[in-house]
Structure 1
Amino acid sequence: MFNKTMSRMGLFLFLCFFLSSTVWGDSDRIRVCSENPRFWQYEGKPVILLGGTDDDNPFQWPNLREHLDTLAAVGGNYIRNTMSDRKDKGFELYPFKLLENGKYDLDQWNPEYWQRFETMLQLTRERDIIVQIEVWDRFDYARDNWEPHPYNPKNNINYTYEETGFVEQYPDHPGQDKQPFFHCVPGMKKYQKKYDIFHKYQLKAVDKMLSVSLPYGNVLYCMNNETNTDAQWGQYWINHIKQRAKEADVDVCCTDMFDAWDIKSEPHHVLYGNPQIYDFIDVSQNNHNKGQTHWDNIQWVRENIAQKLRPINTVKIYGADTGRYGNTRDGKERFWRNIFGGMAATRFHRPDSGLGLSETAQAHIKSMRMLLGKIDMFHCTPDAKSELLSEREENEAYLTCQKGQQYALFFPDGGAVTLDLTDADGMYAMQWLHIEECSLNRKDEVAGGKKVRIEVPAKGGYWVAILTKE
């Protein structure tokens, strides 16, 4: 009875909303590229997504407009938006109404929370920025963040600890997966019937989110932030979101994100082997790895989804001198290896674990966009095992190319390698992109039909050699 009622309520909500809203045609919405399904397509054209933001829930920010303007000005078109409400900075809001008695009513909304969400979608759409939503963030419901949360029974008028099975504190890292909040789907191993009482409010919140987001064609949906919960949890929400999208007569792309740093490990295999569920893949956790291992893992994933091509995103690039998951150099290198390695989308993670939208990140985004103006990346293939490069040290250079037409070599720290152009006749125009200066030098000519020595014009630094057929 409950599910049937929710379905009717949801359908009614959507019909009312869509009768008064303009919904984009599917051809204009963000979708898997029809020409090359390893990439995205937006407004009917293939697109590579580049981003960097200073926190994970930008819809809550008071300075969002300025931040998006800065991102767009350097060629950025991709942000992460967790539906997070934890009080990190003090200006964040919860989605539910706060009553005069100091408790929340989960049956009533806080309209300002949802207005902030829609404003973010409007501002990003105006700037052709793609939003990757994360529906659930496990950190919102553990440790100090659980204490004031509206879902905590002591903070609402809707249920008690005894009725729900919740406890007053969850002091362990949420990776321990002890929070019943993520086990309330019938059929899950830890499911208990009593969990239905709070699960109905989860459904209500997701339906409210979708009533705002589905009319916008610039949205991708990821179920979780680095979850350790059984895949059934995320799959339930994927099915629910796709059903609501079907009722609204729109298509959406959904995935999930697992916690394991080793993206070859078992938890991630569910993503690779179930394309009928996961429309794209997010392997952000690979950005804990460095150097050649980081590159090799990307190529392993590409090979393992070759039978059913889909875009691969990394919405979080770790690496900053202020953080714990690699230094600033690691963050910069990961950004370039991701795109040279064939990924469809990549974004610098927030400080202090990432470079965010710092001046450094801005320079690298701008330079990448400059490169994409010179190279047709949609027709390039990564040289996965560096077979066209010789006299190369580990992590010295990475190549992507359309053989005989265009070549791009990324050098993380200067150096020189030999590029095999034996099977590529003719003359090639060559330019150097000095990444941190966002500058291109004058063109030189390189003759094909032989092996060519490519040496960075200065000692050290981040450089890209660009060769295009004349």
Structure 2
Amino acid sequence: MANTLSIKRTYWVVLMVFTLILLKTDPANGSENFSNGQQIMVYPQNPMYWQYKGEPVLLLGGSVQDNLFQIEDLEEHLDLLVSVGGNYVRSTMSSRDPGNAKPFEKKNGLFDLNEPGVEYWTRFQTFLDLTLERDIIVQVEIWATYDFYWGERGWMQNPFNPKLNSTYTASESSLPEVIDYPAQKQNNPFFRTVPELDNNQVVLTYQHKFVDQLMSITLNYPNVLYCIDNETKARPEWGRYWSAYIRDIAEQAGKKIYVTEMWDNWDPTDGLVPGAVTQGGHLGGWYKENTNPELSKWAKPSNTINDPKSYQFIDISNNNAQRGEVHYNTALFIRNLVKFSDDSRPVNNVKIYGGMLNTLGQDTEYWTGFHKDGEERFWRNIFAGHASVRFHRPNFGLGLNHVAQYHIHSMRMLTDSIDIFNMIPANHLLGKREENEAFCIAVDDKEFAIYFTGKGDIFLNIPPGEYEVNWLQVRSSQWGQPYNLQMPAQLKTPSDDQWVVMIRHL
């Protein structure tokens, strides 16, 4: 693999020069952005969180689409996110939706994998420019899994399909022209090309070209995190190869990047938390029928957690199919596992599921749960000590609708008012607590915050003394009037809505 990387580095340098001319990027500015701790990086004082521009930062987001660089009203959408306190978006490199630009140019009706798609890459760079201007962190997913599987919007319009390009044939590439199975059932050979698996150098050459093009742009931006795949069931060798490949490119450019992998596994604890479900566990149906147990054997977040060399942060987005108390328990389990390991790292959630509208526009149950499930997951992850949360796109999440805006705004209002980067989960302080009723974080017996999923009435068992108490109504993003209270004491929500209360020792 070392010789392959060396050869590809030479290609990458040539390609980078071409890209900088074509897209008019300025690598000098990129280098400056990466200096003096200005880039997104692990927060040295608490490696469970991120730092940006020299300051710790909590990543909060929501967006209407996953391949955000492809949407039309991009600037307005980013401005809306920032206006409510958001600073975090997802960017799959997907091109399967109607109107999307493709990553390669077409000639005579067929894609040429030697020719980068100018419109596609220009859109992507414009997107990175706009996010950089707004201090928005972008989590890029290199391989958009569902672009490579069944359906007219998947493999049947993908430039890597040998039927659709002039660069290689099906026999030369060992890739199928038709895929009639989902990603959960069988791996596309596209995801086995690396030397440790099929060593398919024909296709790997053009996969390198795609990734080289991507890196020639992203390395000019200090606000980018990297994820190899969207919810993958590919073998671990695949992700490890690409992590090494892009980290090598970054190292040759004198830059450090942060990489993760996202696994298609709803239970990141591998059965160690009672009640945690696997695919289809809520409603059964399609997922249960189409999930291949053999693929699931290696699609485990432990591959990421136990490999800090390859993966410098964790993403457990698919855990956000869990519900209620079990969701919190799995999130907390992973946080504790990572925090108390030899390699503490941030735990991200770039997708918060929750919400599926029926044909009448009504909230309806799906494997993602109801809308309120998504709202609660957003808060439980932060109260479990995670570093990022983002509402997934509709209809599988709240996106950036009015409800999501309130939650992002309220979360930012709260975390700007407390010492979030030193607080720890502290549900043990909550007496008379019912399941999924309330969740607590605290620091040094001086500052506390409690999130109530609805109507709540708990006993806060903290050291005696006088404390200032202030309630924040989540769905209106409004603080109440602060008042003083002798602790320990009973705390009851002002109404049946979702609330957060902040308590500070005087």
> Same-fold call, TM > 0.5?
yes
Alignment-derived partner of residue 286 in structure 1: 319
Alignment-derived partner of residue 396 in structure 2: 353
Alignment-derived partner of residue 62 in structure 2: 52
**1:122 and 2:136 equivalent?**
no
1:338 to 365, 381, 386: 381
For these two proteins, the number of residue pairs brought into alignment is: 456
2:348 to 297, 300, 313: 313
1:139 to 136, 140, 146: 146
SS of corresponding position for 1:420: strand
Q: Which blocks of at least 5 consecutive residues in structure 1 are unaligned?
A: none
Q: Matches of 1:21 and 1:337 in 2, distance apart?
A: 38
Q: Matches of 2:28 and 2:439 in 1, distance apart?
A: 50
- The TM-score normalised by the length of structure 1 is 0.94
Q: Matches of 1:143 and 1:172 in 2, distance apart?
A: 6
2:308 to 272, 275, 292: 275
SS of corresponding position for 1:437: coil
Q: Matches of 1:294 and 1:82 in 2, distance apart?
A: 25
Q: Matches of 2:27 and 2:224 in 1, distance apart?
A: 20
1:442 to 449, 471, 481: 481
Deviations 1:40-76 (A, max 9, x none): 0000000000000011100111111010000000000
**1:426 and 2:459 equivalent?**
no
Q: CA deviation at 1:325?
A: 1.0
Q: Matches of 1:213 and 1:19 in 2, distance apart?
A: 10
Contact (CA 8 Å) 2:470, 2:480: kept in 1 or not? yes
**More divergent stretch after superposition (235-244 vs 140-149):** 140-149
Contact (CA 8 Å) 2:259, 2:313: kept in 1 or not? yes
RMSD, aligned α-carbons: 1.5
Alignment-derived partner of residue 8 in structure 2: 6
Q: CA deviation at 1:324?
A: 3.7
**More divergent stretch after superposition (281-290 vs 425-434):** 425-434
**1:82 and 2:84 equivalent?**
no
2:450 to 389, 406, 409: 409
SS of corresponding position for 1:134: strand
Q: CA deviation at 1:175?
A: 1.7
Calculate percent identity across the aligned residue pairs: 39
CA distance 1:380–1:92, shift in 2 (3 Å): same
Deviations 1:202-253 (A, max 9, x none): 1001010000001100000000101111111011111011101011111110
What is the identity, as a one-letter code, of the residue corresponding to 1:56?
D
Alignment-derived partner of residue 217 in structure 2: 212
Q: Matches of 2:503 and 2:81 in 1, distance apart?
A: 28
1:149 to 148, 154, 158: 158
Deviations 1:266-319 (A, max 9, x none): 711122222222110001111000110001111111221112211000000000
Contact (CA 8 Å) 2:16, 2:213: kept in 1 or not? no
Q: Matches of 1:149 and 1:199 in 2, distance apart?
A: 16
What is the identity, as a one-letter code, of the residue corresponding to 2:238?
W
Contact (CA 8 Å) 1:408, 1:464: kept in 2 or not? yes
SS of corresponding position for 1:398: strand
Q: Matches of 1:365 and 1:170 in 2, distance apart?
A: 39
What is the identity, as a one-letter code, of the residue corresponding to 1:116?
R
Alignment-derived partner of residue 439 in structure 2: 398
Q: Matches of 1:11 and 1:321 in 2, distance apart?
A: 45
**1:71 and 2:78 equivalent?**
no
Q: Matches of 2:445 and 2:347 in 1, distance apart?
A: 26
Q: Mapping of 1:235-254 within 5 angstroms?
A: 235-254=240-259
Deviations 1:320-362 (A, max 9, x none): 1425410001000000101111110000000001000000000
Alignment-derived partner of residue 106 in structure 2: 98
**More divergent stretch after superposition (263-272 vs 353-362):** 263-272
